[in-house]
Amino acid sequence: MSEKLQKVLARAGHGSRREMEAWIAAGRVSIDGEIAKLGDRIEADAKVRIDGRAVSIKSEDDLVCRVIAYHKPEGEICSRKDPEGRPTVFDRLPKTRDSRWVAVGRLDINTSGLLLFTSDGELANRLMHPSHEVEREYAVRTFGEVTDACIQRLRTGVTLEDGPAHFDKVKPAGGEGMNKWWHVSLAEGRNREVRRLWESQEVQVSRLIRIRYGMIDLPKSLPRGGWVELPIEQVNYLRKLAGLEEETRTLLGTDKHSVARSKVKSAKIRRAVRKHKTTAGKTPRQRS
C-alpha cells in the first residue's frame, strides 16, 4: 500500500513529519526523478532523493525498531555535524544499514548522561512531542545556599522567561558545605530547563547528569562515550508510551541480562571509550 511521503521519510529518520513537509514544499525531495509535492504518496519501490542524494525507504513491516542508550560525555553536541568541528553524539554510534539513528530529545553541551537513539523516526518524533510527558531524572550538583523555602518554590513552581515551570521531585543526594548533590525529576523537555530552574533561585549548577528517562535508567556499568542496545522489553515500553504497536523482532538475543552484559563489555564500546578522556569524579548514584 502507498504511504504519504513525509511519513516514510520521518520513519526513516530524516526528520520530523513537519520538517519533511517543509523540505517537500521547498522542492528538495524528488520521486523517480520528479520533484515531489505535498500530498504525494509512494510505493515501496519508489526512488527517492533528498537534495539529489538517494535515500533508502522502508515499509513499516521491513523496519525493525531498535533503541540504544548512550552515555553522553560533557563536551559533545547533539547535532550530526558541527561547523566548529566539535565532537557530536553521533560520532561513536554503531553503523546501521538502510536507516540512521535519531536522537530522542537533546542534552546541551555541558550536560552528560543518558541519551536514547532509535532507528524508528516515528517513535522518536512521538516521544519528543509535548503531549507525551515522559519523566526525566537528573543528578545535579549545585553551588550556593539552598534553603527549605528554595526547595519548596522549585516544587510548587516559578516563572521562567518561557512560562511557569517546576520540578516534580527534589531529593537531597549528599554533598558538603555549599556543594550539594540533588536528584530532580520533571516531565518537560524545555531548553536548559533544569539549569534555569536552579538559576531562578540564584543557585549555580556545576554538574548535570541525566540518569533516567521514563523507566529506563542509565546503566551503572556503561562508561562515558559508550552505548548499549536495549532489549525488546524496553523497546516496547517506549513504543507503548508513544502509542505504537509492539515490536516483535529484535537483533539481540532473548536473554536480556546476557545481552546487556555482553554489549556493555563489547569491543565496540572499548574502542569508542578509548578515544575519549573521561573526566574525574562520579555522582552519588554511580558510587552506590
Taking only the tens place, the pLDDT of each residue in 203-261 is: 999 999 999 999 999 999 999 999 999 999 999 999 999 999 999 888 886 444 434 44
Residue 201 CA to residue 63 CA, distance in Å, equals 47
Q: Both 203 and 140 in a single domain?
A: yes
In this structure, the number of other CB atoms found within 10 A of the CB of residue 260 comes to 20
pLDDT surpasses 70 at 263: no
Q: Both 46 and 154 in a single domain?
A: no
Residue 205 CA to residue 147 CA, distance in Å, equals 15
Which of 213, 240, 261 represents a domain boundary (last residue)? 213
Is 178 a member of any domain? yes
Is 285 a member of any domain? no
pLDDT surpasses 90 at 193: yes
Is 222 a member of any domain? yes
Instruction: Note down the domain range covering 10.
Output: 3-55
pLDDT surpasses 60 at 273: no
Q: Both 127 and 226 in a single domain?
A: yes
Q: For position 72, what pLDDT does the model report?
A: 97
Mean predicted confidence (pLDDT) in 276-288? 47
**Identity of residue 267:** A
Q: For position 279, what pLDDT does the model report?
A: 42
pLDDT surpasses 80 at 270: no
Which three cell numbers, joined as nine digits, stand for 240? 507503548
**Identity of residue 288:** S
Residue 154 CA to residue 262 CA, distance in Å, equals 41
Q: What percent of the chain shows pLDDT beyond 70? A: 86
Q: What percent of the chain shows pLDDT beyond 90? A: 59
Residue 86 CA to residue 235 CA, distance in Å, equals 30
Number of domains in the chain: 3
pTM for the predicted model, two decimal places: 0.78
Q: Which long-range contacts (CB under 8 A, 24 or more apart) does 45-52 make?
A: 48/5, 48/8, 48/9, 50/9, 50/14, 50/23
Is 282 a member of any domain? no
Sequence-ordered list of residues with C-beta below 8 angstroms from that of 219, at least 6 positions apart, any chain: 69, 71, 228, 260, 264
Catalytic residues: 108
Where residue 55 falls among pLDDT bands split at 50, 70, 90?
A: confident
Mean predicted confidence (pLDDT) in 72-91? 92
Q: Both 123 and 166 in a single domain?
A: no
pLDDT surpasses 80 at 6: yes
Q: Both 249 and 264 in a single domain?
A: yes
Q: Both 72 and 123 in a single domain?
A: yes
Q: What mean pLDDT value characterizes the chain? A: 85
Is 97 a member of any domain? yes
Q: Both 199 and 248 in a single domain?
A: no
Q: Are 225 and 276 in contact (CB under 8 A)?
A: yes
Q: For position 98, what pLDDT does the model report?
A: 65
Mean predicted confidence (pLDDT) in 157-162? 92
Q: Both 21 and 154 in a single domain?
A: no
pLDDT surpasses 80 at 200: yes
| Residue 185's CATH number | 3.30.2350.10
